[in-house]
Structure 1
Amino acid sequence: MSYLDKAKALEEYMVTMRRHFHQHPEKSMEERETTAFIMARLNEMGIPHRKLNPSGVVAEIPGGRPGKTVALRADMDALTIQEETGLPFASKAEGLMHACGHDLHMAGLLGAARLLWQERQSLGGNVRLIFQPGEEVGKGAKAVIEQGGMEGVDMVFGMHNMPSLPAGTVAGSKGPVFSAADYFKITIQGKAGHGATPEDAIDATVAASALVMNLQPLVSREISSLESLVITVGQLHSGTRFNIISGEAVLEGTVRSFDPAIHDMVPGAMERVVEGIARAYRVEAKLEYDKVAKACVNEEGFTDLCLRSAGKVAQVAPEGRQMIAEDFSEYMQLCPGAFFLYGSGCEYPLHSDHFAGDEQALITACAMYAQVAADALSQI
């Protein structure tokens, strides 16, 4: 029986797991109940594992023959979004939702764990299972690494669901697949005043607006049109009342790119724009800039192996690069790896309060995790 057929036989189990996770989402780096639930399921299977601090689980399936170790990773955290799906198994946690489909990821890896545990005597090496906290805040992969979760791993594989792809498909390519991501915050100090006498004030709102508009030419005029760069101001908070000129404004946003040289150029260029706007609008401005995640770059040989595995369990779809970021890239700094997408067929995008992935995607996730692990260990 193929891994796809074996995954289909576990559909009811995985749906039950997914619905439990979906009803009980937890914040990044606070996934304690999720951790306990996963550990209980691993105990039922008999799979050796250990808890990470403050949350997360690393488990090990020893093969029947000696060999190397391939790691499979699924992320655990939810988003601070109020769910509006109307599902009978909707989130029970106020203001929290698995809007990125990490419930699908965990349930798919638990299914693969069952398959691989049953098949362990045929494996020529070991399978490391990583249930990772804090992906949404870019801290979880580093926590796993710091606590020895990647020690002894020779190859690492991860996946993310993609609602724009139908269930039953897997997509991936060589080279950069997910972008690097940074966070920035700009604080502007002006001088508050009456809305009727702007000459007596220094308007932080006007300066903030100018900053939003003047950051965009960094994309359109300072890098090649053949390259990719995104600078998004996601939040702008300024003012306290309709007839008061704001004395302070705060902007927060993200930077995305694939090319390390471009990514390294951005902080200095942003600082130049911030200083220029501050002088032009008579305000004080401070830029805080943090690098969150490196680009995910699929290693060529392991990508070829994964594409062959995908062809055994799913329809392989062409898929270009994504400006979404993933801290899975931290693992890829330590050993060869690949990160793929699988279809979750939903009209709403990731991070939507209406996102609800097709549960048929669980079969693909389970089968792909198990297939790529078995194929990797049989070819090293």
Structure 2
Amino acid sequence: MSNTLDKVKAIEEYIINFRRNLHENPELSGQEIRTQEKIMKELDILGIPYQKVGNTSLIAILKGGKDGKTVALRGDIDALPIKEETDVEFKSKTDGVMHACGHDAHASMLLGAAKILSEMKDEISGEVRFFFQEGEETFSGAKKIIEAGGMDGVTACLAMHGMPELETGYVNIEAGYRMAGCDTIYVKFEGVSGHGSVPHKAKDTIHPACIFVTDLQGIVTKNINAQDPIVLSVGKFIGGTKANVVSKYTEIDISMRYFNPEVRKIAHESINRHAKAIADAYELKVDVRIEESALSLYNDSELADLAEKSAIKVLGEGKNKTLPKYMGSEDMPYYFQHAKGVYAFMGYRNEEKEAIYFPHHEKFKIDEDYMKYGTALHVQFALDYLNQ
């Protein structure tokens, strides 16, 4: 095992205290002003130059003693609109806002990595960029960093997320699809209103819209390869104004999750085709609008192999556990469009500490012992990639 973990253990209290301060003072996506200020203050102390981008994001740059490649490490910083129901001493002081996804830990681990790497920059060949990213929960922050030139010249990137399926000290790093892409699809049928006693003199939209909703699962089973997972969920259905008035408009909001971009394309085409066919059958107009939320996350095989080797140096052999793909989404894949990347899941489960809840739960807790491993993995991966 490397001495990276020993270096992190020496500053573990620093990482934990910073995380607790962030946890006490959570800020929603795009509003992380105080969080940004706290990180800038620490970067100033470390002597790491940075650039403010987007609303509240930071790009910090550490140049090594020799020329070489450029690796980017990302930590998200935003909290959620959730009222905290834990009993920790550093409970949120902002009513209705909580770090219920562990981004306070992610940001603190990245800061810890910056501290360690800044103390050994003469040994580094190349450049390390630290992305302290706003708005992951709204899938907006990554785009802001990319638009500001954050990925220019970057050849590899790494991010991680704490997860309760793994005990503290374990990790999941696998090549291939790891998280789903997400689209929201808005479908609006338009007909002709009229009296409920003479529906034949109007053009109702509720009945055809109901047919469309039940037809959606036919797209999943008949148009999509069964080997490629996809989820279509209708979360909102609004139509009509009164019992005896034929509904002129009916609106449907659909959430779609997928992995394979080709499946996404087929689903989009099929939804448009089926909506139009049903509208034509009932002499209606229909509008289909597709809003991209996040892309599917795909780990590069070479980087996944390198990250696994880095994890062995930090955690020891046998600590990389297999996990199923997640249907949840992330905005990290936008970075992967510009450079190959890898995303790791770090275990924070500890039943004795009640660190058992999945992210976005009001009783969400982490085992803070896991942060030293995440910090060390950031450091080890950056060193292994730049110095290989």
Which TM-score applies when normalising by structure 1? 0.89
Report the counterpart of residue 302 of structure 2 in structure 1.
Answer: 301
1:263-313 Cα deviation digits (max 9, x unpaired): 111112112232344456676543210223332222222211110001122
Residues 24 and 90, structure 2, Cα contact 8 Å, conserved in 1: yes
Give the structure 1 partner of residue 114 of structure 2: 113
1:65-86 CA-to-partner distances (Å, cap 9, x unmatched) read 3222211011122223333334
**Matched residue of 1:165: which SS?**
strand
Determine the C-alpha separation between the residues in 2 that align with 1:42 and 1:95: 29
- Please name the residue that 1:258 is paired with: 259
Q: Which amino acid aligns with 2:382?
A: A
User: Deviation at 1:130?
Assistant: 0.7
Tell me how far 1:240 sits from its aligned partner.
7.2
Aligned CA distance change for structure 1 residues 247 and 24 (closer, same or farther; 3 Å): farther
Which residue is 2:321 aligned to?
A: 317
Seq. identity, %: 37
Q: Give the match for residue 344 of structure 1.
A: 348
- Structure 2 match to 1:359: 368
Cα distance in structure 2, aligned partners of 1:154 and 1:291: 25
* Alignment check: 8 A CA contact 1:207 1:283 kept: no
Paired position in structure 2 for 1:103: 104
1:329-352 Cα shifts (integer Å, max 9, x gaps) = 122122222111111224322222
Distance 1:198 1:14 in 2: 70
Paired with 1:24 and 1:153, the residues of 2 have a C-alpha distance of: 32
SS at match of 2:160: strand
- CA 1:91–1:288 in structure 2 vs 1: closer, same or farther (change >3 Å)? farther
Could you say what secondary structure the match of 1:374 adopts?
helix
Over residues 222-264 of structure 1, what are the superposed CA-to-partner deviations in whole Å (9 max), with x where a residue is unaligned? 2121121121223345567899987654433322222221111
Per the normalisation by structure 2, the TM-score is 0.87
Moved more, 362-371 or 2-11: 2-11
Compared CA separation, residues 368 and 260, structure 1 to 2 (3 A): same
Deviates more, 1:269-278 or 1:172-181: 269-278
1:13 to 1:242, Cα distance in 2 relative to 1, 3 A: farther
Partner of 1:378: 387
Q: Secondary structure at the match of 2:180?
A: strand
Which consecutive unaligned segments of at least 5 residues does structure 2 have? 350-354
- Distance, in Å, in 1 between the alignment partners of 2:48 and 2:363 is 35
2:128 alignment partner AA: V
Cα deviation, 1:73-123, whole Å, max 9, x if unaligned, reads 111222233333344333333433222221111011111111111222222
Summarize the Cα distance change of 1:308–1:230 in structure 2 as closer, same or farther, 3 Å threshold: same
Question: Which residue in 1 is equivalent to 2:12?
Answer: 11
Task: Call closer, same or farther: CA 1:285–1:368 in 2, change over 3 Å.
Answer: same
2:115 alignment partner, SS class: helix
Q: Please name the residue that 1:221 is paired with.
A: 222
User: In the comparison of the two structures, how many residue pairs are matched?
Assistant: 378
Q: Structure 1 residues 343, 151: CA separation in 2 closer, same or farther (over 3 Å shift)?
A: same
Q: In structure 2, what is the Cα distance between the partners aligned to 1:278 and 1:97? A: 44
The alignment partner of 1:39 has SS state of helix
Larger mean CA deviation between 40-49 and 244-253 belongs to 244-253
Answer yes or no: is the 8 Å Cα contact 1:173–1:320 preserved in 2: no
Q: Secondary structure at the match of 2:126?
A: strand
Which whole-Å CA distance do the structure 1 matches of 2:166 and 2:194 have between them?
52
1:50 aligns with 2:51: yes
CA–CA separation in structure 2 for the residues paired with 1:364 and 1:324: 23
**Whole-angstrom distance in 2 between the partners of 1:55 and 1:288:** 30
When structure 1 is superposed on structure 2, of 261-270 and 236-245 the one drifting more is 236-245
Over 3 Å counting, the alpha-carbon distance change for 1:82 and 1:377 in structure 2 is same
Q: Measure the CA separation in 2 of the matches of 1:81 and 1:189.
A: 37
Letter in 2 for 1:302: L
What letter is aligned with 1:7? V
Is the contact made by 2:139 and 2:331 (CA closer than 8 Å) also made in structure 1? yes
Q: What residue identity is the alignment partner of 1:342?
A: M
Distance 1:189 1:339, change over 3 A: same
Equivalence map 1:121-132=2 (5 Å): 121-132=122-133
Partner of 2:161: 160
